[in-house]
Structures are given as structure tokens and as C-alpha cells.
Amino acid sequence: MNKVKVGILGATGMVGQRFVQLLGNHPWFQVTEVAASERSAGKSYGESMFGRWKLPTAIPESIGNLVVKECVPGLDCQVVFSALDAEIAGPIEQAFAQAGYVVSSNSRNHRMEPDVPLLIPEVNADHMGMIAFQKRNRGWKGMIVTNPNCSTIHLVIALKPLMQFGLNKVFVTTMQALSGAGYPGVASLDILDNVIPYIGGEEEKMERETLKLLGRLGEGKFVPASITVSAHCTRVNVNDGHTECVSVKLEKKPGIDEIKAAFKAFNPLKGLDLPSAPDHPIVLREENNRPQPKMDRDVEKSMASVVGRIRECPLLGYKFVVLGHNTVRGAAGAAILNAELMKVKGYLN
């Protein structure tokens, strides 16, 4: 099989580096282009990352040798993964879609637009049906698909199997990792021996994206789920892995064992053999002090959401903890999985 040629926009940032790491040896995709906002003309990716590469694994050699390009159409690839800063992502991603590229974006800019799928393959694969409308509306030869915010995605994966029980209220408090803020991101003086109980825009994203993700695709529009979500978001001194304390109201009042069974049974991608899909999108832990970022963020190639401490909540009925890797499943890995789904569904030809 010929591999699909892909490019990475914003390849030098933290999420860009994750794309490089995860795509270095991908069975379906071949990275043929890396692009970044600043000019690095004439420099290879390896050279330009000297002293700036922040992952403990080495830069894949084939990518290290690529010359860094600017983020403008003309790249030799079919798909572009976007790890661009929100300040610049909007018009750049649109220019690529206009020019015929398939854009799989981790940026927030287009997530809530009415004709752009906000996609988690295990949750709302059918939302891809919006693409036909998108291309028509926009007059684009290409398309834009987005993945959710890094804290939203793990919440929503955990909520999806609970929809069958009449989910209608969600309370979530997050303890989010440093890598979610990019690099240099949070100053060490601000977080050592500290908690920062605020992340700009994050609570709003969790409260809105969740409704679109768990909603349904109507006739040319997304119908948001009838759920109320309240989010408190905090930053803690952890490298990778967002921890989320969740309470939910389920109208059908299932037993704790039914909920556990629903989490275990959840595997909508089974049989599709997507290379980045976890064997189990939800991993259940029975120890009373799990999941924990250091112990659980890297299970299933860092692509699972790990759930534990399922118990009763005096207010809403049920409490649990969900945890997942924020720059893999919560960013680069999510966008790659979206592209893999698009491939098997025929959106890449």
C-alpha cells in the first residue's frame, strides 16, 4: 500500500513535536512536509529543533531531514495536521481547505463552527456526514475536521457510554498537566509547590464542546445534547495527563456494576483496525487511588481514557475519576485517529 502523504503545520511547538513523534513510523501516513510559522528556510527540521526538542525520544530520522517550510498551500501532501496557535490557525487552515487539502486540526478555531465536525471516532463518527455540507457551503475542494480540547476529550469518552442511562447533568473539576499550556508555557516559579485554579477559556470549552460532541447530526446541522455541564479547571504540577473528578446525573439510575459493565463494553471502533486506536478506549481501574497521571497516562499507547473510583454522589447520583494523556489522546493522537477514520471512510482517496 502506498502511504498517504501528510504534512504538519506548526511542527515546532509541543503538539507539533507530538505529531512528529507519533507519525515517525506510521503504517498508513508518511510525513513529507513540516511547516512552521517562523521562517527557517534552508534549515532541516532536525537542525531547527537543536535544543528545542522536548520529548525524550529522538526525532525520527526521516522527519529530521525534511526542510522546514512556511505554512502556506503548495506543500506536497494530501493531509495536513494542524498544531498551529489559535492566534494564526484560522485563516491558514481555511486556505489549506480551500486549496484541496484535508485539514485535521487540533486548534480550537473551527471547532464550534456549524459546518465543521468536532470529532472523536469512538463518540460521534457519524458527524463526518457534515463534510458534504461543509464543502458545499464553503466551496472548498478540501475540508476541515477538528478534535476537541485536551480536557474535553477524556470527559466525553467517559460520558458516551453513560448516554444510554439518560445522562443530563455533569459536574467536572480538572487538574490539568503543564504540557497542555505549550512551551515555555507555565513558569516554574508559578507552579512549584502550587496549584493555579484557572486556565483561560478552558471551562467554557468544556461546557460547550461536550454538548456538540454528544449531540446528533441533524439535517445539515448539529443538534447539541440536552445536558448541562459545569466545569472548574485548574493547573497542577504534572508533566502530562489531565485528571478529572466527575459527578453525573443519570435518569435511569443504573447500579454501579451496570456502569462498570458499560465502560468495559465500550469499543465502537472494534474491527476497524485503526492503527492509533486503543484496544480499549476506556480502561477501568479497581484500586481506590487510581487513575493517577504518572501510572496511567501511557496505557494503550497513551490513547486510552482511564476511569476509576466509580461511586455514589450525594448530589447527582454518581461520581468517578477519569484521566488521560493530554498531548497524545488529547491532541496529536486525536487528530491522527481522526485522519485514520477518514481514510477508512473514504475521505482520503
Q: Known catalytic residues? A: 150, 242
Identity (one letter) of the amino acid at 154?
H
- Cα–Cα distance, 58 to 38 (Å, whole number): 23
Least separation, in Å, of the C-beta of 296 and a second copy? Answer: 8
Nearer to a second copy, 144 or 307 (CB): 307
Sort strands 242-250 and 167-176 into parallel, antiparallel or unpaired. antiparallel
- 14 sits in the region (left: phi over 0; alpha: psi -120 to 50; else beta) called alpha
> What are the residues binding a second copy (CB under 8 A)?
14, 50-51, 54, 56, 58, 169-171, 173, 175, 178-179, 183-198, 200, 207, 228-230, 232, 234, 236-239, 243, 245, 247, 287-299, 308-309, 313-316, 319, 321, 323
| Contact (Cβ atoms closer than 8 angstroms) between residue 191 and residue 100 | no
Whole-angstrom Cα distance, residue 58 to residue 35?
19
Nearer to a second copy, 258 or 298 (CB): 298
Task: Find out whether 218 and 50 touch, Cβ atoms under 8 Å.
Answer: no
Smallest distance from a second copy to CB 159, Å: 15
Integer Cα distance of 134 and 117 in angstroms: 9
Provide, rounded to whole angstroms, the least separation between the CB of residue 282 and a second copy: 16
In degrees and rounded to multiples of 5, residue 122 shows phi and psi of -75, -15
Nearer to a second copy, 203 or 340 (CB): 203
Can you tell me the distance from the alpha carbon of 55 to that of 84, in angstroms, rounded to the nearest whole number? Answer: 18
Q: Which is nearer to a second copy, 137 or 289 (CB)?
A: 289
Shortest distance (Å) from residue 94 CB to a second copy? 31
Task: State in angstroms the smallest separation of the CB of 290 from a second copy.
Answer: 8
184: cis peptide before it, omega within 30°? yes
Identity of the residue, 94 or 292, whose beta carbon is nearer to a second copy in the bound complex? 292
Write phi, then psi, for 327 (nearest 5 degrees): -100, -10
